[in-house]
Chain A
Amino acid sequence: MLLNTLLLALREIRRNLLRSFLTILGIVIGVSAVITMVTLGNGATRAVQQQIAALGTNLLMIMPGQRLGPGRSSAGAPTFKEADVEAIRQQIGGVNVVAPQLMSSVTLVANGRNWSSTINGTSNEYFISNNWTLVSGRQFEEAEERAGSAVCVIGETVRRELYGSASALEVLGQPLRIKNFSCEIIGVLLSKGQSGMGSDQDNMVVMPLRTVQRRISGSQRVDVLLVSLQDGSDSERVKASLTNLLRERRNLSDTDEDNFNILDTRQFADAMAGTTQVMTMLLGAVAGVSLLVGGIGIMNIMLVSVTERTREIGIRLAIGALEREVLLQFLIEAVALAALGGLIGVVLATLASLALSAIMQMPYVFNLGINVLSFAFSAAIGVVFGYFPARRAARLDPIEALRHE
């Protein structure tokens, strides 16, 4: 009986191709829209979370210049000195590491190839404050930092563009030409990919601060101070004592404005994460509407065909079908359509999410919950509106079902 009923149900689906197609379409649209939207939202959130992680745990960036905002200028504001690093390290509590930073845009030359990149003059603390890991080689030795030796740690992009097929291990010890001097590669950084702003974080060469000061910038200045906080330390308190210390060291009187800025990357990242979460919810809500519209579409199609189906049920009952045979047939039909539609929806959503994530350069995050939820919701609509009118009809006397107008 089950086999026969299955046969009947499948035949019914084929016989009513348009109705079946529209039902499936409603489910497909609903399911795929919700899954795609939520998956993309999840991907965006994940991207922001990864950037937060990449920034390091609670990092303060101190830059010279008047207050942040439109029209701010660092012109005229004195830069930092290497001694500031030591002062912060010794006088401020709750600080994990402090790293200086001196950046410079350069053209690198190696293997007969040119590549535009950024030189980052800093110390070993930078690897900690900004969460960098080495895939090969080593950090700077104290002597190298003190002496400003010509050694460098390169980012993955620099390795790929200049050394191509040479692996992270093979490039160790090779020379890298910058302006008029050559440095030795002592390490390669683990790739971090793009930053939230879309710049390539791996396109960078890290050198000891003094090397950059002497050989590239030709000055004693430090552009940025990176201060990473200990877990659980109060960033507001640290910021306040940093401000006091720096005002003192920069000889500002009580009436002078700060001539430096402290940027809390955590606050920045939190704001961004909050935005993406709101965006995910918004997308989800829009998609929820399409799920609902799809559901109403299914409902409509099913209700429109109720008259025809009621008469059909009357015929089946008259020629000897049992009530439960008719019901089983309609149930199988509804479940088959809903399952097929749901499956197509999930597949489409996965393809669309993968493609869109790739285009938007976001991670693809598979969300089992939303897949199951949207599938179940659409399938339930399909089954409820396919099955329940049939159940009502199958409970009529056959002659009443046949009379149905």
Chain B
Amino acid sequence: MSSTPEDNLPLIRLRGLTKVYGQGQAAFQALKGVDLDIEAGDFVAIMGPSGSGKSTVMNTLGCLDTPTGGEYLFHGLHVERLGRDQRARLRRRYLGFVFQGFNLLARTSAQENVELPLLYRGEPAAARHRAARAALASVGLDGWEHHTPAELSGGQQQRVAIARAIVTEPEVLLADEPTGNLDTQRSHEIMELLWRLNDEQGITVLMVTHEPDMAQYARRIVHFVDGRIDSDTRNPQPAALARRAANTASVASAEGAN
């Protein structure tokens, strides 16, 4: 995996990616040829109307689903040619997932939920405990380690899910509508968290959202319409940076008024 066949390859490259659900009469083409390059360290928001193929492309990028046609290169590796176990190994080595519905294990403490990916990696118990506690602390859940999902609010559950996604120190964090089940206040907190992970830890973040406010946190916004990319623009000023700039400006003007 460390040796890339071509040095100029991006982290992720999609070429002519198609996905057909069902067969015969009932067949439905959800992706109609998607070309997309994503560089390491980017923060990409995928937007578009409902049914435009956002989740389909995310699941393919996350190696949770296989494309019908086209190429998907991850680190130059042809993912579309990999078997189930190879894709699973790819997931546990490089990828972290955050879902709209949180998808935590019920009746299982936050700590145990976060430790789970490490368990599958074969990490020893002490290292698991330490890493999970650190991950929970980094999403602001100090002291909530022993609460089960039922005892946590939606925002807290999504934080646990994010902690679980980053505890393995993945290169890419994939989030399909991570704020879809949260109120505005909670949504902004989660987006701040994702921004920090991207900005401070350099994790590549791929996020699906249909809320323009949330998409403004990304560095790049890709619009899907009807299974195709409709527009692909860079965000000149991601929301978190803009807010920081505004804060600095207001502090400066306050100081200036003095």
From known contacts A4-B122, A16-B107, infer whether A319 and B65 are also in contact, taking CB-CB under 8 Å. no
11 inter-chain pairs at a CB distance below 8 angstroms, sorted by A residue, are A15-B107, A308-B106, A312-B106, A319-B165, A320-B117, A322-B88, A322-B89, A397-B64, A397-B65, A398-B64, A402-B103
**Would you list which residues of chain B between 78 and 126 have a CB under 8 Å from chain A?**
84-85, 88-89, 91-93, 97, 99, 103-108, 112, 116-117, 119-122
Closest-CB distance, B114 to chain A (whole angstroms): 10
From known contacts A15-B107, A16-B107, infer whether A316 and B116 are also in contact, taking CB-CB under 8 Å. yes
Taking the complex as formed, is A81 at the interface, i.e. its CB lies under 8 A from any CB of chain B? Answer: no
A residues near B119, Cβ cutoff 8 Å? 4, 7-8
A residues near B165, Cβ cutoff 8 Å? 319
- The 10 nearest A-B residue pairs measured at CB: A320-B92, A399-B64, A319-B117, A398-B64, A320-B91, A399-B59, A321-B120, A399-B65, A320-B120, A322-B88
From known contacts A312-B105, A315-B105, A319-B120, infer whether A11 and B97 are also in contact, taking CB-CB under 8 Å. no
Taking the complex as formed, is A189 at the interface, i.e. its CB lies under 8 A from any CB of chain B? Answer: no
Taking the complex as formed, is B164 at the interface, i.e. its CB lies under 8 A from any CB of chain A? Answer: yes
Taking the complex as formed, is B66 at the interface, i.e. its CB lies under 8 A from any CB of chain A? Answer: yes
Contact of A319 among B85, B97, B108 (CB under 8 A): B97
Taking the complex as formed, is A97 at the interface, i.e. its CB lies under 8 A from any CB of chain B? Answer: no
CA distance A69 to B180 in the complex (A): 90
Closest-CB distance, A10 to chain B (whole angstroms): 13
Which residues of A line the B interface, CB within 8 A? 1, 4, 7-8, 11, 15-16, 308, 311-312, 314-325, 397-399, 402
From known contacts A308-B106, A312-B105, infer whether A320 and B89 are also in contact, taking CB-CB under 8 Å. yes
Bin chain B's interface residue count. 20 to 34
* Cβ B112 vs Cβ A11 within 8 A: yes
* Cβ B120 vs Cβ A325 within 8 A: yes
* Cβ B97 vs Cβ A318 within 8 A: yes
CA distance A205 to B88 in the complex (A): 85
A residues near B88, Cβ cutoff 8 Å? 317, 320-323
CA distance A399 to B87 in the complex (A): 13
Closest-CB distance, B112 to chain A (whole angstroms): 7
CA distance A317 to B89 in the complex (A): 10
A residues near B168, Cβ cutoff 8 Å? 320
* Cβ A320 vs Cβ B64 within 8 A: no
* Cβ B122 vs Cβ A1 within 8 A: yes
What 1/0 mask marks residues of chain B from 34 to 77 whose CB sits below 8 Å from any chain A CB?
A: 00000000000000000000000001001011100000000000
CA distance A11 to B109 in the complex (A): 11
A residues near B91, Cβ cutoff 8 Å? 318-320
Closest-CB distance, B50 to chain A (whole angstroms): 16
B residues near A312, Cβ cutoff 8 Å? 105-106
CA distance A155 to B94 in the complex (A): 87
Closest-CB distance, B176 to chain A (whole angstroms): 10
Extra inter-chain contacts (8) besides given A308-B106, A320-B117, A324-B85, CB under 8 Å: A315-B103, A315-B105, A318-B97, A319-B164, A320-B168, A322-B85, A399-B65, A402-B103
B residues near A322, Cβ cutoff 8 Å? 85, 88-89, 120
CA distance A45 to B93 in the complex (A): 66
CA distance A399 to B93 in the complex (A): 18
